Amino acid sequence: MIHYFNTLKVFTFVLHPWLVCKLTDMHPSILLNVCMCCFAGAGQDVGRSCILVSIGGKNIMLDCGMHMGYNDDRRFPDFSYITQNGRLTEFLDCVIISHFHLDHCGALPYMSEMVGYDGPIYMTHPTKAICPILLEDFRKITVDKKGETNFFTSQMIKDCMKKVVPLNLHQTVQVDEELEIKAYYAGHVLGAAMVQIKVGSESVVYTGDYNMTPDRHLGAAWIDKCRPDLLISESTYATTIRDSKRCRERDFLKKVHETVERGGKVLIPVFALGRAQELCILLETFWERMNLKAPIYFSTGLTEKANHYYKLFITWTNQKIRKTFVQRNMFEFKHIKAFDRSYADNPGPMVVFATPGMLHAGQSLLIFKKWAGNEKNMVIMPGYCVQGTVGHKILNGQKKLEMEGRATVIIGTLDVKLQVEYMSFSAHADAKGIMQLIRMAEPRNMLLVHGEAKKMEFLKDKIEQEFSISCYMPANGETTSIVTNPSVPVDISLNLLKREMALGGPLPDAKRPRTMHGTLIMKDNSLRLVSPEQALKELGLSEHQLRFTCRVQLHDPHSDNDTLGRIYTHLKSVLKTYSIQHVPDGTVIVESIVIKVTSSAEEPNLKVILLSWSYQDEELGSFLSTLLKKGLPS
Amino acid sequence: THIKICIYFNSGIRGICVAGYTGAKSEILELLLPLKLYAGENQGLCAERDFKVQHGGFSEEPVESLIHIPGTRCVVTTGSSSSALQIWDIGGDDSDVIKRTGVINLKSTPAKGITIAPGLTDEPAVLHGSCISEVQLTEIATGRVLYTVAKESSDSVSGLQFVNACVFLICVSNGTLLMGDIRDPSTCDYPLQDSKSGLHWSFGLRSDSSQSEPSCCTVARLSSSGHMLLYDLRDLQSPFCQTQLNVQQNTSKNDFLNVSWAPVLNRCLSVSGFDGTVHIYNTMDWSTEGQSPQPVFSHRGHEMSHEAKYSSSLPVVTTHFWHQSRPKTLLSAATDGSLHVWDWVDKIIDR
């Protein structure tokens, strides 16, 4: 990885100040700036996101997720990629968290407090508000319920959140003098963001999880034509053609309706802030349309908390909700009421939303225990369940559960007779969505995470063909280097500009580079292009002229003048586009190259051809000497 | 340019092959049917409602028709402009790219689209032709022509299908049916009794198994004006039933005219291509005299879709297929690029 300013300074040492340099000699590859991505997590590994990017000398960590499938240290990202021992603070310029899902922020307190990081952690306001709740909830299951020891504490979560710097949408934040970041709306969940990271003229956009279709309470992801050098996108659903949302919802409503019609009870375990709002709005609309009477309940405390956060972050919801919020609170439902634990024993049909989402504790588990024995009832799991939770067990088809009382003493078994349904309502982009995002942002390179390489070759081909950009799919732990073409802004002196204009020819065009001559002066952090004379004047040096001479021996049985004439004719036939003159004083001039012929009196047929040229015509001069060494045609 | 989808159900494999194009590039996809279709009645453990793209590939030209060769991972396509059949290998587990493995070049560029059908012989072969005289059976691996029809006729072919490994049917767009046998170059012709000009005809064959004798097969002939004739394959001269379906003639796209017999249910057939619906009929109720039969079910999903509301023209169903084993499941595709998998309910019998 090379910092481009360093590279340019090296370049000036190579040049001698009195040599005129051609700007075109500065090949773009010298100004190479490599942008690297090193994966400590995602990269064909569905379950945890943690990406390291090096750009313009800055190191950024994107997301710090926990792998929900493992119970040991494999659930944390492998930070030894950054450093073998010690704290991460001096190796990272910042950490950015895209949204509050645990597979994106679950390892954050572990990273900042147990491994050690004191720098800034950036996330949006809603993410900052909701993250600690999820982290604490998760910590409780892992430590209190499962008795694990190598885990972060409640205090660590609090200390970690103190390092958070909140982001607003579309607002550029200067992390330091060179690094700036900007958040874009991602949809997916409340507060989810896509982030643009910029150093100088190079940028990377990381999408986190996003979706391109709006739903009932969130809008769709949006980004401007920022043309990043690299777009990093999740591709969990890239090889899926998603069923229409309407069908999915209809299926959900059908199941709920059927259960309620036959007098059964439906339990939907949810996390307070997530898909629950979406499902509530869906049920409310359906109940209203179908004029249904069965009661729907939302766990106590849940409504207030949810309302509080949605009200607080109203700008993060979609247009429709914002509009109706003024008249009435969108999250105050006509058909959905607050739940009281005694209602669980009421006869007759009902639908209950209760926390927590994985049936691992609390109210949802209590209700589940009461309703599990009746086959008329149903439980609908709307999301992923961690191993070890009741939710996970019943989704795996377990029909008998061991119920634990205090101190994990088993007090009995529970027969699971109710219907178990799993409906994923998560909002992710599919292949069509990914193509849409690429069209919006116009990146120069593409990188896909969260999928399997073997299963994504078709998508890679599709992207490469349609957009003519490279598409990368690194594995976990793999480093990808991407070459960028940074543009280097240079000030040009007016004199030099005028002189170039005076030369005539086509006007400068961004698409058609034209060779020009000048001297690049790099001082402090500024770059100036001036005429060679001015540069010499500024440096207090006098200009040297460089001329090369070369002698070529040739046998030619003619007079010196005739030999010269033959040389003239020969060159005229070979170099058709060059200016060649035969001057009467006995020289042939090709551009600025002077050719003379002499011979000695002793050997008049041994001609010595003298070639002389200035530095500018070096190439041509060398060519001519090689050509003449071959001899003249007869 | 509208999106056209060709579907062919991969027997034995839980997937379908789909080709569609927008603009220049055409894509061929092998899609796994959503797991939800395979979940039992009360088994609720399937979250998967989505089609999974198992393999995908690119075709330089728009794909007009697409068939799968049974017993192989091979798919054959025809394009609108070229005079060749493209052979593709869907691929295995090591890669998700569908690669073109070969071409069968035809003698000349046909004026109309080529109809293709899979051969049922042991060596994978494809029956193809744009007009009767061009119908031939070509071995895929070698390109060897195994059989050619000996009839000189430039009548255009609207349908081809093998009854068993040797016997096949050709349907001409004017309604004539020809029965051939690959062991004998001559064919038996069965023109329509009173053939009306300007109509386009399509046919559907029902056989009990791929190796069945002609005695167990029924044939349906359908015209673009809704005229339907049903035959026992042993007697293609006289239909055992004739009727007029109550449909609107769609003169613009004869290619979409499609009649299929249900593989599991008895005497049940489906019809599409007139508009955005697929109609299912129970032919047991049909009588030769009397009014048009009523469909037992009509799938209006493509007309009522979200996309249909916002487009200027209503979508037309381009093709439909019955699921091989689920008795009441069908797949259908329409000109707006939609793909539906649906079950139907007989309102009278089922509750």
Put simply, the answer to whether B96 touches A239 (Cβ < 8 Å) is yes
Give the number of other CB atoms < 10 A from CB of residue B171: 24
Q: In 3-state terms, chain B is what percent helix, strand and coil (to 5)?
A: 5, 45, 50
Provide the residue type at A420 as one letter: V
Where does the pLDDT of residue B160 fall: very low under 50, low under 70, confident under 90, or very high at 90 and above?
Answer: very high
Instruction: Name which of A44, A236, A240 to mutate to probe chain B: the one with the most chain B Cβ atoms within 10 A of its Cβ.
Output: A240
Those residues whose C-beta lies under 8 Å from the C-beta of residue A40, and which sit 6 or more positions away, are A50, A51, A52, A77, A78, A79, A81, A82, A476, A477
| pLDDT tens, position by position, A439-458 | 999 999 999 987 677 778 88
What's the mean per-residue pLDDT of chain B? Answer: 80
Q: Mean pLDDT highest for which of A118-122, A482-486, B139-143?
A: A118-122
Per-residue DSSP letter, B2: -
pLDDT at residue A247 above 60? yes
Residue of A240, A243, A458 with shortest CB distance to B55: A458
Residue A274 dihedral angles phi and psi, to the nearest 5°? 180, -130
Q: What is the pLDDT of residue A15?
A: 24
What whole-number distance in Å separates Cα of residue A142 and Cα of residue A388? 10
Ramachandran assignment for A246, one of left (phi > 0), alpha (psi -120 to 50 degrees), beta (any other): alpha
CA angle B122/B145/B135 to nearest 5° reads: 100
Q: How far is A440 from chain B (nearest CA, A)?
A: 19
Other CB atoms within 10 A of residue A565 CB: 15
A580-588 CB contacts, 8 Å cutoff, 24+ apart: A586/A560, A586/A561, A588/A564
pLDDT in tens, A557-587: 888 888 888 989 999 888 888 888 888 888 9
**pLDDT given for residue A559 in this prediction:** 87
Q: Which residues of A are catalytic?
A: 234
Q: Which residue of A has its CA nearest to B307?
A: A244
Closest listed residue to residue A427, CA positions, set A245, A270, A268? A245
pLDDT of B280 reads 93
Residue B78 and residue B114 in contact, taking contact as beta carbons nearer than 8 Å: yes
SS in 3 state form for A581-616? EEECCCEEEECCEEEEEEECCCCCCEEEEEEEEEHH
**Which residues in chain A are contacts of B56 at CB distance < 8 A?**
458-459, 461-462
**For chain A, counts of helices (H) and of strands (E):** 17, 31
| B54 close to B46: Cβ distance less than 8 angstroms | no
Is it the case that residue A326 has pLDDT exceeding 50? Answer: yes
Residues of A in contact with B339 (CB under 8 A): 241
How many pairs of residues across A and B have Cβ atoms under 8 Å apart?
Answer: 69
**Closest-CA residue to B325 (of B9, B8, B5):** B9
How far does B101 lie from chain A, in Å, by closest CA?
17
B315 touches chain A (CB under 8 A): no
Q: Is there a contact between A462 and B306 if contact means CB atoms under 8 Å apart? A: no
Q: Do A395 and A385 contact (CB within 8 A), yes or no?
A: yes
Residue of chain B whose Cα is closest to the Cα of A396: B45
Cα A286 from chain centroid (whole Å): 39
In this prediction the ipTM stands at: 0.73
Chain B residues within 8 A of A247 when measuring between CB atoms: 49
DSSP for A527-561, written as a single string: EEEE-HHHHHHHHT------EEEEEEEEE--S-HH
Identify the CA nearest to B64 among candidates B307, B340, B319, B322.
Answer: B319
Pick from B50, B55, B95: CB nearest A243: B50
Q: Cβ A241–B31 below 8 Å, yes or no?
A: yes
A331-379 residue pLDDT tens: 677 888 888 888 888 999 999 998 877 787 778 888 999 999 999 999 9
Which H or E run contains B228?
strand B227-232
Is the CB of residue A376 less than 8 Å away from at least one CB of chain B?
no
Instruction: Judge: A419–B44 Cβ closer than 8 Å, yes or no.
Output: yes
Is the CB of residue B79 less than 8 Å from the CB of residue B61?
yes
User: Phi/psi at B107 (nearest 5 deg)?
Assistant: -60, -40
Higher-scoring residue by pLDDT: B255, A156: A156
User: Looking at the complex, does the CB of residue A462 fall below 8 Å from at least one CB of chain B?
Assistant: yes
Distances from the Cα of B34 to the Cαs of A7, A434, B336, in angstroms? Answer: 55, 21, 21
- Nearest 5°: the CA angle B180, B185, B190 is 35
Nearest residue in chain B measured CA to CA from A238: B53
Look up tokens 């004379």; give the residue.
A533
Q: Which residues of B touch A462 (CB under 8 A)?
A: 27, 56, 58
Instruction: Please answer yes or no on whether B94 and A431 come within 8 Å at the CB atom.
Output: no
Using CA coordinates, name the residue in chain A closest to B34: A243
C-alpha torsion sign, points A108, A113, A115, A119: positive
Considering only the beta carbons, identify the residue of A241, A457, A458 that sits closest to B50.
A241
On the question of pLDDT at A317 being above 60, the answer is yes
Which member of A240, A419, A456 has the closest CB to residue B51? A240
**Among partner residues B31, B45, B49, which is closest to A397 by beta-carbon distance?**
B45
pTM over 0.90: no
The type of residue at B30 is E
Side-chain-facing half-sphere of B193: CA atoms under 13 Å:
9
Q: Is the model more confident about B252 or about A203?
A: A203
Question: Residue A454 and residue B25: Cβ atoms within 8 Å?
Answer: no
Q: How far is B166 from chain A (nearest CA, A)?
A: 38
Lowest mean pLDDT: which of A534-548, B24-38, B48-62?
A: B24-38
Side chain identity, residue B211: Q
Chain B residue with minimal CA distance to A251?
B49
Searching chain B, which residue's CA lies closest to the CA of residue A455?
Answer: B96
Residues 43-62, chain B, touching A (beta carbon < 8 A)? 44-47, 49-58
In chain B, which residue's Cα lies nearest the Cα of A398? Answer: B45
- Helix or strand run (H / E) with residue A628: helix A618-629
Report yes or no: A243 at the B interface, CB cutoff 8 Å.
yes
Asked if B97 and A458 come within 8 Å (Cβ–Cβ), the reply is yes
Q: Tell me the residue type at B126.
A: V
Instruction: State whether A242 and B50 contact (CB < 8 Å).
Output: yes
Are B101 and B116 within 8 A, CB to CB? no
Predicted local confidence at residue A413, as pLDDT: 86
CA distance B49 to chain A (A): 6
For residues A112 and B75, give the distance between their C-alpha atoms in angstroms, rounded to a whole number.
Answer: 54
Best A235, A241, A376 residue to mutate vs chain B (most B CBs within 10 Å): A241
Higher pLDDT, A130 or A507: A130
Residue-wise pLDDT for B82-103, tens only, equals 788 999 988 877 788 888 898 8
> What tokens does B278 get?
């697929």
The per-residue DSSP string of A112-171 comes to IIIII--S-EEEEHHHHHHHHHHHHHHHIIIIIIT---SS--HHHHHHHHTTEEEE-BT-
- Residue B98 Cα, gap to closest chain A Cα (Å): 8
Residues of B in contact with A246 (CB under 8 A): 306
Beta strands in A450-502 (DSSP E): 470-472, 479-484, 491-492
**In angstroms, how far is CA A30 from the centroid of its own chain?**
24
Query: Could you tell me which residues are beta bridge partners of residue A164?
Result: A121
What the block records as the tokens of A570 is 């020969």
Answer whether B189 touches A (CB < 8 Å). no
Are A132 and A161 in contact by the 8 Å Cβ rule? The answer is: yes
Residue type (1 letter), B225: S
Report the C-alpha gap between B147 and A28 in whole angstroms. 62
Test B25 with A246 for CB contact under 8 angstroms.
no
**Token pair for A474:** 């690194």
Task: State mean pLDDT over A50-74.
Answer: 85
Within 400-439 of A, beta carbons closer than 8 Å to B belong to 419-424, 431
Chain B residues within an 8 Å CB radius of A466: 25
Facing B45 at nearest CB: one of A237, A248, A420: A420
Dihedral (CA of B190, B193, B198, B203) sign: negative
Q: How far apart are CA B148 and CA B126, in angstroms?
A: 12
What is the Cα–Cα distance from A512 to A507, expressed in whole angstroms?
A: 9
d(CA A188, CA A205): 17
